A and B are shown apart, each in its own frame.
Chain A
């Protein structure tokens, strides 16, 4: 079955440092890929997405490129802020078939802690 592997955390960075959180996947076909962010005590928010190979998702300074050749979707940000401290989840979903709703497959999450 489908699976998502994320680098283990926690990741601790100083403010303005460069961030990379690795994510690789195993799946058949052409899934869509997502990064979700969870702030303390809250649900998940969609951060960015990519629906096909070579697509780059971006939002709030975060970027991730759908690399089919390496089955990866690494999350990057050039300069992190304290407010970026959260747990980040990589996820995938198979294409929607008419009349059905596919399940999200999540990675285990990576906790990011940004300090001053």
Chain B
């Protein structure tokens, strides 16, 4: 079945530095990927929709200058947390869906990245 690889699975960085998280669809092409943020014991909050070859669409309240999203190819999207601060510490999850006309299947999720900013 479809597999989405997310890397790294966890990262610790110093306050003020930037961190890049990669999301790859391994055996299918995804023109659209989604980035979520999950706070402890809470549901997933959609941050942005990443479109291959074009600018990402951010949800209301998400700082596009802080969370840079690049979807350079049909199999790779990256999320860069710029000038990270402790409040950015969270679990970030990506998801992707192969675009088939008429398909109504759910999305495939990456395994998530635990970001801790110290």
Contacts and interface: CB of A to CB of B under 8 A. Distances in A.
Interface of A: 32, 34, 36, 41-46, 49, 51, 89, 91, 93, 95-96, 98-99, 101, 103-104, 106-109, 111
A115 B3 CA distance: 31
Interface of B: 6, 31-32, 34, 41-44, 46, 49, 93, 95, 97, 99-112, 114
**Chain B, interface SS category:** loop
A43 B110 contact: yes
Contact of A91 (B31, B106, B108, B110): B106
Contacts of A101: 31-32, 49, 97, 99
Contact of A36 (B106, B112, B114): B106
Residue of B34, B41, B106 contacting most chain A CB atoms (<10 Å): B106
